[in-house]
Structure 1
Amino acid sequence: MEAFLDSHFVRVMPFLWQGLGYTLLITGVGLLFGFILGAIVGLARLSKNKFIYVISSIYVEVLRGTPILAQILFIYFGLPDLLGFNIDKITASIIAIAVNAGAYIAEIVRGAVYSIDKG
């Protein structure tokens, strides 16, 4: 039993639990904002206004066409150069998950609305 308590597994468990907490936080908050953004953009893709339709379509196509890792790196390293201030790593992760999930959820919302009969 003493060999198990001195093992590498026991020493790293607090770090793994902390990582799990951050993962659940980033995922939960990011998906919450992603659902909101996705619903708005999905309904915007149904708009008769050409400008709103084009902007929302560009958003969906660009974000669905780029890997999420590239989006995370752009938000964490690229946006601070453009905006002039640093973004916290947790905040950047939440933004990346929200923006990416929003693009996919927008397509789900658009498809769901189109699947309903006019009558």
Structure 2
Amino acid sequence: MRKNKKIENCANQLYNEFSKAEMFIEYSEKISVSEGILYVAEQENCYWFLDIVVQNCIKLNAVKYQKWKLLKNEDGEIIVVVSDRKDEMLLEINGPAKDFYFSSLTICKIGNNLLMPCEE
């Protein structure tokens, strides 16, 4: 018997309409976010993900380009995996279960700015 292949439910596929980020809004003392990031956070009620990034990105401040990937398992538990431009893992953060519709969401940190990958 064949197993059904799990379908990836990625937020980035839905929110890929943003073009190059031109305007950034201050989110915390040292981090600004693009309009695309704010839109996704508002629509999906996931400011908590931005807070995880802001609280932990200081540990990796020497790395100018960071890819932050939120992954949700079938139990709703959250894992955040951070990698560099070469996709080498830098950090993994386990989080509590969250009511987040998608199975994944990826954002990028370039310098002190957070943006959607499609805004790069």
Same fold (TM over 0.5): no
TM-score under structure 2 length normalisation: 0.32
Q: Which has the higher helix share?
A: 1
TM-score under structure 1 length normalisation: 0.33
Larger Rg: 1
Q: Which has the higher strand share?
A: 2
Q: Which has the higher contact order (CA 8 A, sep 6+)?
A: 1
